Homo-oligomer: A and B are copies of this chain.
Amino acid sequence: MTTETQDLRRAMARAAEEIDQALDILLPTEEGPEARLYAAMRYAAVGGGKRLRGFLVLEGARQFGVSRHAALRVAGAIEMLHAYSLVHDDLPAMDDDDLRRGKPTVHKAFDEATAILAGDALQTQAFLVLAQEDTHPDPAVRAELVRCLAQASGARGMCGGQMLDMLAEEGGQQLDEAAIGRLQTLKTGKLIEFSAEAGAVLGKAAASQRHALLGYGRDLGAAFQIADDLLDATATAEETGKRTGKDAEAGKATLVSLLGLERARLQADRLVDQAKSHLDGFGERADLLRMLADFVIERRN
């Protein structure tokens, strides 16, 4: 492991810890007869996960001297949104998964109705946190954060991508490269893009800087997705901590199955270079973001 990778891993671990502390404060505490709902929300959102999206928010915000308090609230909101999507994706009617991050999924640990409700309430809580005055004194910033998160995660973002994914699996369709790209942009790309961009919104950065971070997030997200597919195709379950070879087994078209390992790897490399080039106007402060881009295609888990 290079020193750079060690620095990055340390920074990510520290950020994940801070984000967990923020989530502990931002989520309703377990009291009252409806505490089961709050417990399920916490079970889904607190602890575990790489917190890639939250880390992007924190590092983006750091470019503009945004207060850690504000950045952590936005990071927490985006991680809640991400957690809600996982809870609902895992439901029996969707991907029907029993395990997530090594523990039983919410509908297994609680029940299906509680999982549906907890996902719903996590989404709501994400928007609530963004809209609260404590997130930023300027209401224009708060309204813009809400607008961007809703855009990234709704019908023309994450939910739309999830629909595409379901339809492709159901119909057994072999998507072409363009269709796979669109699916992944919607399903995971837009939220990663916004995570990278959010710090610029918080910092009221110049449009050019906001645009640069958004471009970074877009290319990083695309590289991340190819890396995920490569891992699924090549890594062992011991390395990743989850079952591998799932895509091939499901006959699911990915960029890796379409392009082959070698060309997929080259494309991921190209995307990483492109992601970093968006940061050319940023100084040393953006080094962790640069390392992160290298890291996403090097990781084995």
Interface residues of A (CB under 8 A from B): 28, 32-34, 36-38, 41, 84, 88, 91, 93-94, 111-114, 116-117, 119-121, 123-125, 127-128, 130-132, 138-140, 142-144, 146-147, 150-151, 153-156, 159-164, 166-167, 179, 186
- The docked-state distance in angstroms from the alpha carbon of A118 to that of B150 is 14
Contact indicator B34/A160 (Cβ below 8 Å): yes
CB distance from A20 to the nearest CB of B (A): 18
CB distance from A162 to the nearest CB of B (A): 6
Which residue on chain B has the smallest CB distance to residue A132? B147
Q: Is the interface of A mostly helix, strand, loop or mixed?
A: helix
- The docked-state distance in angstroms from the alpha carbon of A81 to that of B116 is 15
- Chain B residues positioned under 8 Å from A139 (CB to CB): 138-140, 142-144
- The docked-state distance in angstroms from the alpha carbon of A83 to that of B146 is 20
- Chain B residues positioned under 8 Å from A131 (CB to CB): 143-144, 146-147, 150
5 additional contacts, CB 8 Å, given A120-B120, A123-B124, A143-B143? Answer: A34-B186, A88-B117, A124-B155, A130-B146, A142-B143
List 30 A-B residue pairs with CB atoms under 8 Å apart, sorted by A's residue number.
Answer: A28-B155, A33-B164, A33-B167, A33-B179, A34-B155, A34-B164, A37-B159, A37-B163, A41-B155, A84-B120, A88-B117, A93-B112, A113-B166, A114-B163, A114-B166, A117-B162, A117-B166, A120-B120, A121-B154, A121-B159, A123-B124, A124-B150, A125-B154, A127-B146, A131-B146, A131-B147, A139-B139, A139-B142, A143-B143, A143-B146
